[in-house]
Structure 1
Amino acid sequence: MSELMTREQARDPDYFPGFAIAIPLGIQHVLAMFVSNMTPAIIVAGAAGFGYGSKDPSAMIYLIQMSMLFAGIATLIQTIGVGPAGARLPLVQGTSFAFLPVMIPIVAGQGPAAIGALMTAALCGGLVHTALSFFVGRIRFALPPIVTGLVVLMIGLSLMRIGVQYAAGGVSVQGSAAYGAGESWLLAGVVVVVTLGFSFYGRGIGSSAAVLIGLIAGYVAAAALGKVSLAPIGNADWVMLPSPFHFGFAVSASAIAGFVLMGFISAIESIGAVSAICEGTAQRPATDRELIGATCADGVGTAIGAVFGAMPNTSFSQNVGLIAITGVMSRHIVTIGALFLLLCGLAPKVGAAIITIPIEVLGGGVIVMFGMVASAALSILSEVDWSQRNMLIFGVALSVAVGLELEPGAVAHLPTTLRILATSGVLPAAVIAVVLNLVVPHPVKELAAA
């Protein structure tokens, strides 16, 4: 915490510490979330078939730009507030990893046209999420740590394969001699080692932006090996404005169902972020107004972004941790970071620069990020009382969810919508865990102990 402000001022969301402090701290928030925010767009583009190695990178650049632009807009909704939307707290919004296990099978190999179905589903899911925000207090009982921890764990497990594929050279070279080459793993390894080094030994921005620094180190190594081409930057325009329904409008029942169901989990993520900021930094419980406003901003931000081709967003937990480190809770600092994101989102040369990152380098960063998702799940699960009842609930949900994801042919006779949802990993785990937790009674001795 800065010596220029008192402890009470640092805990006040409405206090503005001055531009000399606010600008660097705001940029630090952007650096902490930058890589995580753009990665889902790159993964979805790759799954759809217009990612790395495609002849026309314009669709991928657009997805990346919208991820930055609407992360900034959604963050402004959180910090400034628009009607009931917005907690008026220093919450940084960004593209959510949680929806990836649902999105990937829907767009797999379908090209840019498939993104239209995702955006339509995100619009529907965002509207449902907005309505759900006014009832968050009433549904929390159905999502205890055993459920939320399992869901977060499944998100991490479902995505780890992508990290390894990227580090080995990407799906585009899978099956060839280039896949899994030592040079690819060397670049991914540079990213992992540098990231760990700055995470453990760095201070301030060096620690909070460790993944970004790791990617820069991997990028430099790749350039030295002649694996970087700057042509996309020269070909990109200087300014790009968002266009409504850029990828079209299409209805996919499986996508809509997946986005609506995952909205429940995203709402609980935001509740956790608000609670962590208020209890950890302000040392007070979050108000109902703050909880409702935060989850409402999630839904509104997702719905608005979907109209223009942005992925669904949620509150970023790494930035909550950054607030705990700095001890400064000013929402105006995060507002400055959001404005920086807006500027980046309007400049396609930024997105073009991002796609010059070799896929092996990105793979190293993704391995770290998805590993951290799984680690966060273990932290949540540490709060669970591991009685025989809870172990059975967790075990059955995990076994079915992982098993169906590994062997999707086992449900080949289901209708397409149900098959996609059943093999997503995340949704079957969530549904089974929620249902079992609600219907399986606690043993008498557990009730007596309680």
Structure 2
Amino acid sequence: MTRPRSAPHPETNPSRTINRDPDAMPPLSKAIPLGLQHIMAMFAGNVTPPIIIAGVIGAATGETIFLIQVALFVAGVSTLIQTIGMGPIGARLPIVQGTSFGFLPVALPLANAFGLAAVLGASFIAGLLQIVLGAFLKKIRHWFSPVVTGIVVLLIGITLMPVGLNYAAGGVGSPDFASPTNLLLALFVLVVCIAVHQLGRGFVKASSILFGLLAGYLVAIALGMVDFTNLREAAWFAVPRPLQYGMEFHLTAIVGMVLIMFVVGLETIGNISAITTGGAGRPAKDRELSGGVMADGVATSFAAVFNTLPNTAYAQNVGLITLTGVVSRHVVTIGGILLICMGLFPKLGGLVAAMPHAVLGGAGVVMFGMIASAGLKIIQECELDQRAMLIIAVSLSLGIGLPAVEAISETMPGQAGLLLKSGLVPAALAALLLDAILPGKPKRQRGGEDVEAEASKAESNA
């Protein structure tokens, strides 16, 4: 009787080795297009925050081009810190870093009150503290349950929704604010984003925001809504200058940015776990989680030195890894190098800066809504018992109610009103405090290295 051949072991299958092993290197003919795909998926999200902050501080078009340029450059360097690593810093996984939306609800009122220098100073301090957070992550991970993280991510999306709609109307202060042309253009971008996402497959589906922006941009050019004067004046090549806006240190700004840094750090933990689970087929190791959060902190402080907002791991690229199954960190390293190259050419930033606000607003409706949806998905990970419902109720009431009643923040002494104005800081504090003191908190999940240790022990006993 012929003995049936055993199925090939997954570790000896070359394609699966490339897919599941972060250290494997696909051929350059495949790696370069895959790296470019990662950049295409995150590009719109990376350049949107600097455009929004430029509008708040009243930046001239030349300044906006510069802010876009440094955002691309910093994202590339930060991505290499994650994929290549420096000692204990860096997850050494295919993590794409980019400018974080999570800090915007706090950064916008701070920039309006103190200027961009105060936001950068607070970001620099927050990054240093995030490095400490990563170093001691295993001991304090239980502070951040899904209900706490989910509430804050949900509120980030809710807080940014009016920003997206203001841009869809043409930008606050524009002479044609809420004109039919602006609103119809934003609606067109929104429809294209939804249609491409629903009808597209693979890379096209993952880049639906980018396709919507490109379609809206082309329509705006045809309608004569785009002025390329500043693009022609922009340099072809320039090295980003550090400390262009300087740094100022205000306690109110530092407190607000540090609190949001904790939450964004937890987002990074979730993204790393999603990469190893969906791409590598295993839980994340503690050293990967710790190194990833520390790299987030280094990237945030580095971003502050180079005049841009904090950087964090991008969730849309996590979805791309799960979709393609390619978990090689070298592919994303190639993407990081491409980002650095793009950040050295200001004309590219000028091309993006010329985009009408209405185009960006149409895509913002989707992007900011997806952030809120991600928060809901995180909340679903916990059991929605009476304890969790109470935490959600109090936090959402503060997070949504305080911005709606600005008179409360205006009556606060000193600069405390600024922290209440966004609603996000008091909501985050309430969620953390209630989750810590209310009885019946669920036990935290085990880390990936705990699972691996148990698996090794079981194998040795077999």
Q: Does 1:92 align with 2:84?
A: no
How is 1:112-261 mapped onto 2 (pairs within 5 angstroms)?
114-173=115-174, 178-261=176-259
1:94 counterpart SS class: strand
| Match for residue 104 of structure 1 among 104, 108, 119 | 108
Q: CA deviation at 1:389?
A: 2.0
How is 1:344-355 mapped onto 2 (pairs within 5 angstroms)?
344-355=342-353
Q: Is the 8 A contact 1:191 1:364 kept in 2?
A: yes
Amino acid at match of 1:216: L
Structure-2 separation of matches of 1:72 and 1:9: 23
Amino acid at match of 2:134: S
Match of 2:29 in 1: 20
Q: Mark the CA change 1:61 to 1:416 in structure 2 (over 3 Å): closer, same or farther.
A: farther
Relative to structure 2, which stretch is displaced further, 371-380 or 5-14? Answer: 5-14
Kindly provide the CA deviation profile for residues 117-143 of structure 1, in whole angstroms up to 9, marking residues without a partner as x. 111111111111111111112222121
Q: Does 1:68 align with 2:66?
A: no
Match of 2:20 in 1: 11
Match of 1:277 in 2: 275
Amino acid at match of 1:13: P
What is the TM-score with the length of structure 1 in the denominator? 0.93
Amino acid at match of 1:322: L
| Match for residue 415 of structure 1 among 413, 416, 420 | 413
Q: Is the 8 A contact 2:259 2:428 kept in 1?
A: no
Relative to structure 2, which stretch is displaced further, 157-166 or 403-412? Answer: 403-412
1:228 counterpart SS class: coil
Runs of 5+ consecutive residues of structure 1 not aligned to the other structure: 51-55
Relative to structure 2, which stretch is displaced further, 277-286 or 320-329? Answer: 277-286
Amino acid at match of 2:18: Q
Amino acid at match of 2:24: Y
Relative to structure 2, which stretch is displaced further, 421-430 or 14-23? Answer: 421-430
Relative to structure 2, which stretch is displaced further, 383-392 or 93-102? Answer: 383-392
Structure-1 separation of matches of 2:14 and 2:236: 40
| Match for residue 77 of structure 1 among 81, 84, 88 | 81
How is 1:281-296 mapped onto 2 (pairs within 5 angstroms)?
281-296=279-294
Structure-1 separation of matches of 2:312 and 2:344: 21
Q: Is the 8 A contact 2:17 2:24 kept in 1?
A: no
Structure-2 separation of matches of 1:278 and 1:386: 27
Structure-1 separation of matches of 2:206 and 2:406: 38
Structure-1 separation of matches of 2:387 and 2:18: 46
Amino acid at match of 2:314: F
Q: CA deviation at 1:109?
A: 7.1
Amino acid at match of 2:167: Y
Match of 2:331 in 1: 333
2:136 counterpart SS class: helix
Q: CA deviation at 1:300?
A: 0.6
Match of 1:323 in 2: 321
Q: CA deviation at 1:16?
A: 0.6
Match of 2:297 in 1: 299
How is 1:33-44 mapped onto 2 (pairs within 5 angstroms)?
33-44=42-53
- State the aligned residue count: 431
Q: CA deviation at 1:5?
A: 4.1
Amino acid at match of 1:404: L
Structure-2 separation of matches of 1:134 and 1:417: 32
Amino acid at match of 1:215: L
Match of 1:263 in 2: 261
Structure-1 separation of matches of 2:231 and 2:399: 42
Match of 1:46 in 2: 55
Kindly provide the CA deviation profile for residues 407-437 of structure 1, in whole angstroms up to 9, marking residues without a partner as x. 1221323234321112222211111011111
Amino acid at match of 2:290: I
Structure-2 separation of matches of 1:258 and 1:109: 13
Q: CA deviation at 1:195?
A: 0.8
2:98 counterpart SS class: strand
Q: Percent identity?
A: 46
Structure-2 separation of matches of 1:33 and 1:269: 16
Calculate the aligned-residue CA RMSD, in Å.
1.6
Q: CA deviation at 1:322?
A: 0.2
1:324 counterpart SS class: helix
Q: Is the 8 A contact 1:38 1:64 kept in 2?
A: yes
Q: Is the 8 A contact 1:28 1:208 kept in 2?
A: no
Structure-2 separation of matches of 1:190 and 1:400: 34
Structure-2 separation of matches of 1:142 and 1:130: 17
Structure-2 separation of matches of 1:416 and 1:25: 51
Kindly provide the CA deviation profile for residues 157-203 of structure 1, in whole angstroms up to 9, marking residues without a partner as x. 00000111111111022xx5x22111111111111111111111112
Match of 2:386 in 1: 388
Match of 1:53 in 2: none
Structure-2 separation of matches of 1:153 and 1:161: 14
Structure-1 separation of matches of 2:410 and 2:181: 39
Q: Is the 8 A contact 1:49 1:109 kept in 2?
A: no
Structure-1 separation of matches of 2:112 and 2:15: 53
Q: Is the 8 A contact 1:401 1:423 kept in 2?
A: no
Amino acid at match of 2:193: T
Match of 1:431 in 2: 429
2:173 counterpart SS class: helix
1:207 counterpart SS class: helix
Q: CA deviation at 1:301?
A: 0.9
Amino acid at match of 2:157: G
1:206 counterpart SS class: helix
Q: Is the 8 A contact 2:68 2:349 kept in 1?
A: yes
Structure-2 separation of matches of 1:193 and 1:313: 29
Q: Does 1:57 align with 2:57?
A: no
What is the TM-score with the length of structure 2 in the denominator? 0.91
Amino acid at match of 1:414: M
Structure-2 separation of matches of 1:49 and 1:13: 43
| Match for residue 314 of structure 1 among 312, 315, 329 | 312
Runs of 5+ consecutive residues of structure 2 not aligned to the other structure: 1-12, 444-462
Structure-2 separation of matches of 1:163 and 1:223: 21
Kindly provide the CA deviation profile for residues 287-313 of structure 1, in whole angstroms up to 9, marking residues without a partner as x. 111111100100011111211212100
